[in-house]
Structure 1
Amino acid sequence: MSKDVYITGAAMTPFGRHTGTLAPELAQAAILRAMDDAGVQPKDIQAIYCANVLGGMILGQVIVRDLGFNGIPVYNVENACASGATAVHLARHAMLAEQYETVLVFGIEQLTALGGGTIPLQRNDAMTDLYATAGMVLPAVYAMRGTRFIAERGASPRDLAAVAVKNRRHGALNEYAQQRKETTLDEVLASRMIADPLTLLQCCPSQVDGSAAVVLSTKRGSANKPVKVLSSAVVSGLREGARDDILDAEITARAARVSYEQAGLSPKDVDVVELHDAFTIAELLYYEALGLAAHGEAVSLLHSGATALGGRQPVNPSGGLLAKGHPLGATGVAQMVELTWQLQGRAGARQVEGAKVGLAQCTGGGIAGVDHAASSVHLLGV
């Protein structure tokens, strides 16, 4: 496992409602743009990884059937919201094992096809999971964390709402984001209550379609400045005990430790972060889990301006899930597209100047008795 793996091409579709567009059409748009970005043809691709959560069986094969890939392996990857990141992780492992030199990884989701509502924790029978049986939904899970955070950390609902204000400000600069309108603290707090203390503008949009794609290669390529995948970690949740802290985000902290160790880096080496802010409270918890803030210092870090554009370590310059949107299978790949553009100096008005190292963090799945089902942390660098 001595070869380096690079992102040599990156692309995505705008996230939003793509009425009248089929999921394969969305995915194909991202795929073709990423390949053009990398300067490769179908004959150069040796394997394909398709990340998707709710699109059904063999979606990858359906999407690439007419693109001229000539029977190469297609792997369909589902790992809840971490599906896209997991697909990159698996592809990188195959390349480090010298199975492939150049592969395509893409994520796709069309949530508007579901007709609205919250994403189900489980779609299986009632015996599968206690939370699913009880009707637990993710806004409720994060609302409990938010309530506990406010009670134990001396925080207020305005502190949580400030995350949405920051990320919507960033999203207004991103032509790929679903929500491109800035908001104020008062507007966030006055929006419809979803699960106390989380209001509508503190939850990522549930009606969103989109796709993202990257070309990975052990060859540096020549189309654009290649971005090296410095490390990749995917871990599963541990069984929780009665005294476990729901504010701990243990699974993400564990994935981050693995990823930092692989890369030989520490949190202070990171210049830009794309993290899984499905709800405002999540960003604050992940500041601490990723080592960006010490325990109990997340709110102070946010209000210092360090995680805003122009700050020391901008977090979610894309607008994050709160503004960009969260088409499940595409999210993890889209985070890496954003970081690739940032590290190549191609992010336009939201560019983080001088960025050399980027971190992408994505969690996935809620099941009874664990923090999350999966968490991934990747470090990218130039």
Structure 2
Amino acid sequence: MKTYIVGVGMTRFEKPETRDWQYWDMAKEAGTKALEDAGLSYEQVGQVPVGYCFQASTAGQRAAYELGLSGVPVYNVNNNCATASTALMMARQFVAGGLEDCVLALGFEKMARGALGGGADGGAADGFGKTSPVARHYGIMAERHGFEMSPPTAQIFGDAAREHMELYGTTEAQLAAVGAKNHRHSAHNPYAQFQDVYTVEEVLAAKTIHRPLTKLQCSPTSDGAAAAVVVSERFVEQHGLGERAVEIVAQAMTTDTAASFDSGSCIDVVGKPMSKAAARQVYEASGLGIEDVDVIELHDCFSINELLTYEALGMCEDGESGKLVEAGATTYGGRWVVNPSGGLISKGHPLGATGLAQVAELSWQLRGRADLRQVPGARVGLAHNIGLGGAAVVTMLRRAGG
């Protein structure tokens, strides 16, 4: 059964503790915007998957109750940085499976200031002495590169960057070009945490977080929320929503296989094999390929992950991603526009909201409502959201009737 996104909404992504609000306040703002965008009420929603990583159990109910007390099922979803796209996937499955005609996917995060640790639980072990779910991933990193005092997530991606440089000759300037591009894109995004523009030289000169990654190549901790209303084709027709509908043409989630660990490479540990497999499944299911895509929102938690994702999505051959961004192929006037929102690096990265914020941006793009960020003639969009531990979600979107 076909599924459509008919309404999206999000808050501005902000530095933690900037605003005096609770997670349910931000969830209410994003959810209300999505419902208003769709022209629907909460009472028309049949189920609500809610994504977050840092709040307590049943925080999803506390957030959804701000939208209404209709008694519908609320599901609490946590899949590390892929949490929000997982909530969206659940919403799509409920509708595609014929269980509901209208589902609200909601994601939010209220984070602490400072660098993110080794996943939502904070590192190799949590405060109760339990082994982290990502300890195996960091063990691969430590065996090859050692373990330093810099933030663990920056280490594992920084080490992946050094491997890419050693294997393919990727340069620090090419990595910095990702940060410069995404900061430049965010200048026109009122929802972005940062709206400052930097040159490649300024990105390179910023504080080093873990070599070769500088601060302007790393996503910040953020507060924020995002939401999407997912409905059936029947619902679209009954309520006259065709003009605002964006079809979810195909979607896939993959998790780690032996390919993530057997090579001992951080490039594989941080998820490139998962991303490649998810993209392949989506291309096969949709009948569309990367050549059909106009605009992409992908998981640039660090600049290197954007380059790795170019390769995983088939935008270039392995090792050619640095040249791709350097040539301007992934910005306005190029072959694709990647992260017109500013991406995680500049828009921000509240874990439980990120994947839904990507889909909000793509929905606006495909509906021609992205203002100064608009990609001319955009008809097909692709979202990529990944979390260590691990999960990769790829979603193919198309303007209804396109």
State the TM-score, normalizing by the size of structure 2. 0.89
1:150 maps to amino acid: M
Distance 1:139 1:150 in 2: 16
1:209 maps to amino acid: D
Q: Which moved more, 1:311-320 or 1:10-19?
A: 10-19
1:1-382 matched pairs, under 5 angstroms:
3-17=1-15, 18-111=18-111, 114-121=112-119, 122-123=121-122, 124=126, 125-128=129-132, 129-130=135-136, 137-206=152-221, 208-218=222-232, 219-220=235-236, 221-222=239-240, 224-239=243-258, 240-243=260-263, 245-247=265-267, 249-366=272-389, 373-382=390-399
Q: Which ranges of structure 2 fall in alignment gaps of 5 or more residues?
A: none
Computed over aligned residues only, the root mean square deviation of the Cα atoms, in angstroms, reads 1.7
Count matched residues.
371
Distance 1:70 1:228 in 2: 27
2:267 maps to amino acid: L
Q: Is the CA contact 1:170–1:309 (under 8 Å) kept in the aligned structure 2? A: no
Distance 1:115 1:190 in 2: 23
Q: 1:244 to 1:250 in 2, by over 3 A?
A: farther
Distance 1:69 1:381 in 2: 33
Return the offset for 1:245.
4.4
Listed one character per residue, the Cα deviations across residues 267-292 of structure 1 (whole Å, up to 9, x for unaligned) are: 10111000000100111110010011
Return the offset for 1:205.
1.1
SS in structure 2 at match of 1:231: strand
Residue equivalent to 1:370:
none
Distance 1:35 1:46 in 2: 13
Distance 2:80 2:103 in 1: 22
Distance 1:126 1:45 in 2: 38
2:169 maps to amino acid: G
Q: 1:260 to 1:24 in 2, by over 3 A?
A: same
Q: 1:31 to 1:182 in 2, by over 3 A?
A: same
Q: Is the CA contact 1:310–1:352 (under 8 Å) kept in the aligned structure 2? A: no
State the TM-score, normalizing by the size of structure 1. 0.93
Distance 1:241 1:101 in 2: 40
Return the offset for 1:327.
0.3
Return the offset for 1:118.
2.1
Q: 1:130 to 1:255 in 2, by over 3 A?
A: closer
Q: Is the CA contact 1:45–1:69 (under 8 Å) kept in the aligned structure 2? A: no
2:57 maps to amino acid: M
Distance 2:66 2:385 in 1: 31
